[in-house]
């Protein structure tokens, strides 16, 4: 079993739709969680950190479920510019060597 | 402030040649990471440095790969000899470690634009 698993997609949704991704992790000692966004042929960029209480940034909402060991990303009112690959990132507290990137979920927004 | 700088952006070489990838991290960052990304394996951590010292190189595929960080503003990843299976995008990333107590680390990694390596 991979340490961080994501549905590779692609998710193909119409503009304005709501879309959600999940990501599961196997290491219960994981402490930090992030969502990164990667555009085609570009570098990954931090989208948002994921906190235990859940957090929201505009149209984006991230949640963490420690009991079930998964994190989620919800995108509301999706825009064409949201088309990208979304990478789930998990690492153990204070341990840079335990930074694990998921393989990414590809999202395509159609007009 | 300039982000992470990598050079070259593209490298095409022949099997057996030596390849050197370069990275300049963001000033003030004390961690530097080298990653490799392929379609098959996704993003893999190869090695990382803390305050110029290699901490974990367990991700380096084999002895043909080596990395150095002679000072806080420069790092190299060298492949000698290169092989076709080394073809990938190599990213360098840096961060400044900050603890946020109960919320765990809020450190953010900033990636460079990557070097697209093709070994023929």
Contact, B31 vs B11, CB < 8 A?
no
β-strands B42-50, B53-56 pairing = antiparallel
Nearest residue on chain B to A93, alpha-carbon basis: B104
DSSP letter, residue B14? -
Of the candidates B48, B59, B53, B55, the one whose C-alpha atom is nearest the C-alpha of residue B94 is B48
List CB contacts (< 8 A) between A45 and chain B. Answer: 111
Contact, B72 vs B58, CB < 8 A?
no
Model confidence pLDDT, tens digit, residues A50-65 = 988 889 999 999 999 9
Nearest residue on chain B to A49, alpha-carbon basis: B106
Q: Where are the alpha helices (DSSP H) in chain B?
A: none
In sequence order, what are the residues at sequence separation of 6 or more whose Cβ sits closer than 8 angstroms to the Cβ of residue A51?
A: A62, A64, B103
pLDDT given for residue B102 in this prediction: 46
pLDDT given for residue B41 in this prediction: 86
pLDDT given for residue B35 in this prediction: 96
pLDDT given for residue A51 in this prediction: 82
Mutate to test the interface with A, among B48, B109, B112, B113 (most CBs of A within 10 A): B109
Closest Cβ–Cβ partner in B31, B104, B110 for A96: B31
| Lowest-confidence pick of A70-79, B7-16, B51-60 | B51-60
| Dihedral sign of CA atoms B28, B6, A8, B40 in order | negative
Model confidence pLDDT, tens digit, residues B59-87 = 898 899 999 999 999 999 999 999 999 99
Model confidence pLDDT, tens digit, residues A2-52 = 789 998 889 999 999 999 999 999 888 887 899 999 999 999 999 998 988
Mutate to test the interface with B, among A32, A35, A96, A105 (most CBs of B within 10 A): A96
CB contact under 8 A, B42 and A101: yes
Instruction: State how far the Cα of B7 lies from the Cα of A46, in Å rounded to an integer.
Output: 22
């Amino acid at each position: 079993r991979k340490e961080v698993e994501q549905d590779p997609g692609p998710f193909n949704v119409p503009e304005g739709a709501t879309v959600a991704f999940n990501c599961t992790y196997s290491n219960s000692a994981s402490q930090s969680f992030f969502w990164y966004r990667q555009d085609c042929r570009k570098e990954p960029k931090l989208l948002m950190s994921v906190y235990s209480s859940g957090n929201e940034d505009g149209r984006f909402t991230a949640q963490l479920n420690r009991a079930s060991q998964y994190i989620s990303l919800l995108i509301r009112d999706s825009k064409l510019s949201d088309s990208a690959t979304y990478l789930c990132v998990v690492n153990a507290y204070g341990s840079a060597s335990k930074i694990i990137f998921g393989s990414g979920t590809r999202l395509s927004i159609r007009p | 402030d300039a982000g992470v700088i990598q050079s070259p952006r593209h490298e095409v070489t022949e099997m057996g040649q030596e390849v050197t990838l370069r990275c300049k991290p963001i000033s003030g960052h004390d961690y530097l990471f080298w990653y490799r990304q392929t379609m098959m394996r996704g993003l893999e951590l190869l090695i990382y440095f803390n305050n110029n010292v290699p901490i974990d190189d367990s991700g380096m595929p084999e002895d043909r790969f080596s990395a150095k960080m002679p000072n806080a503003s420069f790092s190299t990843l060298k492949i000698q000899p290169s092989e076709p299976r080394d073809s990938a995008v190599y990213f360098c990333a840096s961060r400044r470690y900050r603890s946020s107590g109960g919320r765990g680390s809020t450190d953010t990694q900033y990636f460079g634009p990557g070097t697209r390596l093709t070994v023929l």
